[in-house]
C-alpha cells in the first residue's frame, strides 16, 4: 500500500495495448507509483476505442485517481453526446483501472470497497462449439472434465427472417445431447433469429429446461422480447449490447428479462456494473455478467459478483473459439486465480482486481499485434445473397 487514504493520487499516464486475440488493455499509472489495469475491449471496433482513449487521456491525466465517481460523471456527462458502445467501452477500461488502483492503495480487493462479500466463490460457465455450432458433445464432455457444471453454446447458424422449421431441430438435438452429460446449458440465440423463428425455437427448447436463452431477439426489440417472455417459462437473458442503466430500463419495466447480462467492458466498468446489480435486483432479476473477453474483464466482473446478492453465474472465455493467439490465462503471472472446481472459482483475494498482469508480455504482444489488422466478426449472407445476422 502506497500513500495514505487522504493523499491525492494524480493520474500521470494512461496507456492502451491492443493484444491478441481481440482485447484492448488499459494501464493507468499514478504519481504514487500505483499501476491499475483495465479492459476496454469492444470486439470488432478496436480502432474506435483507441480513438476514444486519445480524448480520455487528454482529459484525465492530472486528475486524482481516487475520485472515481467524479471522473466517471465527467467522462459520461460533460460532453454533449454520450453513451453507446464506443464511448462506454472506453470509459469502462478507465473505470476498471481506477478501481484497481484504489484497491491497491488501500491493500484490499475491490469487493471490500463495494461493501464486502456475500459469497465465497463464483459459479461459472464456458462455451462449447463455435459460431456455427455442430459437434458439441465432445466439447461438453471436455468441459465437464475441466470442472465445469454449466456451458453455453450458440443456438443456430445463419437463419432467414422466416426459414424452414427443420433448421431448429438440430438445435434441440444438440441441447439434449449436452444435457445428457449432466451439464446445465444456456442457449445463445445471438440476435440471429427474428420473431417468427425465435418463438418457435424458444417453445421447442422449453421442455429441455435450458439454463437460459440469451438474446432471443435483437436488443432493439424490448416489446417483442417481453411478449416472448410471456410465452415460455425458460429464463430470458440479455444485456451485452446494452450500455447503461438507462438502456436496461425498458426491459425491466416491461418484465422482459429474468437475467441481466451487462458486460463490464461495455457498460461503464465496475461503477456501472455495480449500480446495475442493485437496479436489476429491484425487479427480481438475476445478474450474470457477459464476459467472452480477457482476464482483466473477468476479474472486474468477479469483484462485483462477489458483492452482489442477485448474482447467478459468470461467463468466462477459457479456451473459447475466438481465442486465437492468446487465451484467458496467457497474460497472468499466476493463472491459478481462475482455477475451476466443481463449477466455481474462488473469490479473488489480492488487492485491487486480485490478479497480476504480466506487463512485459503485454508490451511484447502489443508491439507485434499493433501492425496486424484488428479482429472483425464474420459477415454472413444467405443463399439469396441477402445479409444475415451474425
Active site amino acids: 190, 290
DSSP state letters, 282-347: HTT-EE--B--S-HHHHHHHHHHHHH-TTB--EE--TT-TT--S--TTTTBS-GGGG-EETTEEEP
Element housing 99 (H / E): helix 84-106
Alpha carbon dihedral 123, 43, 56, 9, in 10-degree steps, equals: 30
- Residue tagged 497480476 (cell numbers): 356
Instruction: Name the 3-class secondary structure at 173.
Output: helix
Overall residue count recorded for the chain in this entry: 390
Residue 222 host element (H or E): helix 222-231
Of 11, 16, 15, residue with least CA distance to 32: 11
Write out 125-165 in H/E/C secondary structure: EEECCCCCCCCCHHHHHHHHHCCCCEEEEECCCCCCCCCCC
- The set of cell numbers assigned to 311 is 448474482
Q: State the helix-helix crossing angle for 269-282 and 84-106, rounded to 10 degrees.
A: 100
CA distance 276 to 304: 10
Beta pairing partners, 64:
10
Beta-carbon contacts of residue 213 (< 8 Å; ≥ 6 apart): 155, 186, 187, 188, 189, 202, 205, 232, 234, 235, 236, 237
Q: How many Cβ atoms sit within 10 Å of the Cβ of residue 333? A: 11
Amino acid at each position: 500500500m502506497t500513500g495514505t487514504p487522504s493523499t491525492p493520487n494524480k493520474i500521470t499516464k494512461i496507456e492502451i495495448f491492443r493484444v491478441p486475440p481481440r482485447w484492448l488493455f488499459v494501464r493507468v499509472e499514478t504519481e504514487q507509483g500505483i499501476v491499475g489495469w483495465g479492459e476496454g475491449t469492444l470486439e470488432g471496433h478496436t480502432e474506435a476505442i483507441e480513438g476514444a482513449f486519445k480524448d480520455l487521456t487528454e482529459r484525465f491525466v492530472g486528475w486524482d485517481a481516487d475520485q472515481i465517481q467524479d471522473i466517471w460523471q465527467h467522462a459520461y456527462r460533460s460532453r454533449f453526446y454520450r453513451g453507446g458502445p464506443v464511448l462506454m467501452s472506453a470509459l469502462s477500461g478507465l473505470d476498471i483501472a481506477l478501481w484497481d488502483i484504489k484497491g491497491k492503495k488501500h491493500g484490499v480487493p475491490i469487493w471490500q470497497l463495494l461493501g464486502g462479500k456475500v459469497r465465497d466463490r463464483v459459479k461459472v460457465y464456458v462455451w462449447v462449439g463455435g459460431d456455427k455450432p455442430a459437434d458439441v458433445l465432445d466439447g461438453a464432455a471436455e468441459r465437464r472434465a475441466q470442472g465445469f457444471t454449466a456451458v453455453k453454446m450458440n443456438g443456430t447458424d445463419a437463419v432467414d427472417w422466416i426459414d424452414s422449421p427443420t433448421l431448429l431441430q438440430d438445435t434441440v438435438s444438440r441441447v439434449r445431447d449436452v444435457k445428457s452429460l449432466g451439464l446445465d446449458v444456456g442457449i445463445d440465440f445471438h440476435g440471429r433469429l427474428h420473431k417468427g423463428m425465435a418463438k418457435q425455437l424458444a417453445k421447442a427448447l422449453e421442455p429441455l429446461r435450458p439454463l437460459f436463452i440469451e438474446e432471443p431477439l435483437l436488443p432493439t426489440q424490448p416489446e417483442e422480447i417481453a411478449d416472448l417472455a410471456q410465452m415460455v417459462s425458460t429464463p430470458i437473458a440479455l444485456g451485452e449490447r446494452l450500455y447503461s442503466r438507462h438502456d436496461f430500463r425498458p426491459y425491466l419495466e416491461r418484465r422482459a428479462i429474468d437475467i441481466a447480462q451487462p458486460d463490464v467492458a461495455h457498460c461503464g466498468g465496475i461503477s456501472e456494473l455495480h449500480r446495475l446489480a442493485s437496479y436489476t435486483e429491484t425487479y427480481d432479476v438475476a445478474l450474470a455478467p457477459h464476459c467472452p473477453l480477457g482476464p482483466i474483464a473477468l476479474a472486474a466482473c468477479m469483484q462485483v459478483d462477489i458483492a452482489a446478492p442477485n448474482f447467478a453465474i459468470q461467463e468466462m472465455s477459457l479456451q473459447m473459439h475466438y481465442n486465437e493467439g492468446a487465451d484467458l490465462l496467457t497474460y497472468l503471472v499466476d493463472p491459478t486465480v481462475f482455477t475451476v472446481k466443481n463449477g466455481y472459482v474462488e473469490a479473488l483475494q489480492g488487492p485491487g482486481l486480485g490478479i497480476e498482469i504480466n506487463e512485459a508480455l503485454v508490451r511484447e504482444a502489443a508491439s507485434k499485434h499493433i501492425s496486424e489488422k484488428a479482429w472483425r466478426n464474420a459477415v454472413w449472407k444467405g443463399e439469396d445473397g441477402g445479409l444475415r445476422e451474425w
